[in-house]
Amino acid sequence: MLTLNIGPLALPITLFLMLVALLVAAGVGRLVGGSQRTSVGNIAIDMLVAAVLVARIAFVSIWFDTYRNAPWSMLDIRDGGFTPWAGMMAALLVAFWRAWRRPALRRPLAFGLAAGAVAWGGLFGAIRMMENTTVPQASVTTLGGDPTNLAALAQGKPMVVNLWASWCPPCRREMPVLAAAQKQETGVRFVFVNQGEDAAKVQRYLTGAGLDLANVVIDPGTALGREVGSGALPTTLFYDASGRLVDTHLGPLSAASLASKLDQFRSPSNLSN
């Protein structure tokens, strides 16, 4: 499951888990703090803000050469470019600093954060156990009208599967990035699975946009999106050479965020000969 659908809104499951963890941390911290009315919830929010900022700064620093030609894109966090370990260290430093300044916070903060971590880990683990982490079996159709599937298109290579539609602005924005990567990363199979449109409409869009893409297929019934548990576009899935799902991305990819995910395929065991 990649998204939680609430009516027309598709909420990323990671964001939902983060909100649940914050609520649990705040609630447990308040219970443990008792009459002291400690503000564990406020501290948890401060930790989250620090984590996001530092994780983004670290990511941009690592991939600065990629961002150099479009400096304003450094501010666009929609590309999902974050360095988790840096963000986690920043969050812990905020917690230690606040606890050091106010000894009365130490016990409720420790219990609240521990409870939030357990809630997040438990829900995340349960969702992962229910996920299909292998290449989906749903049938798709080539622009020429021939039925096929993702396993046949992968041909034993690592595979990037992009779910998109021509009416989706973020999909159109990221498409040149994916097109350039497809030409450059010859050891990785890129597959573009259009969701809910027919072949004629897809072809008109590709021609009009001047996009020369290989492995464009259509999924008129959006069966693939349902199988992978995503109701949001664009969604990009990363499978290793053995067909195991190793990463996902919701929203538009930048050149830097795509490059960081493709780094997972750099080891010789993940690249086909």
Residues of the chain with CATH 3.40.30.10: 140-270
Sign of the torsion formed by the C-alpha atoms of 152, 155, 159 and 162: negative
pTM (predicted TM-score): 0.86
Q: How far is CA 184 from CA 60, 132, 259, 261, in A?
A: 22, 29, 11, 15
**Domain 140-270 class, CATH top level:** alpha beta
Q: What is the per-residue pLDDT for 7?
A: 64
Q: What is the pLDDT of residues 43-99, one digit of tens each?
A: 889 999 999 999 999 999 999 999 988 888 899 888 989 999 999 999 999 999 999
DSSP string computed for 213-224:
-SSEEEETT-HH
Question: Virtual CA dihedral for 121, 78, 87, 42, nearest 10 degrees?
Answer: -80
Strand residues in 143-215 grouped as ranges (E): 147-148, 159-164, 189-195
Strand residues in the chain grouped as ranges (E): 3-6, 9-12, 140-142, 147-148, 159-164, 189-195, 216-219, 235-239, 245-250
Q: Phi, psi at residue 104, to the nearest 5°?
A: -65, -20
Instruction: Give the H/E segment covering residue 154.
Output: helix 150-154
Per-residue pLDDT of the chain (273 residues; tens, 9 = 90+): 777 776 666 777 888 888 899 899 988 988 888 755 567 888 889 999 999 999 999 999 999 999 988 888 899 888 989 999 999 999 999 999 999 988 888 899 999 999 999 998 998 888 777 776 889 888 999 999 999 999 999 988 999 999 999 999 999 999 999 999 999 998 999 999 999 999 999 999 999 999 999 999 999 999 999 898 888 899 999 999 999 999 999 999 999 999 999 988 876 545 444
Residue 259 has which token pair? 């490059």
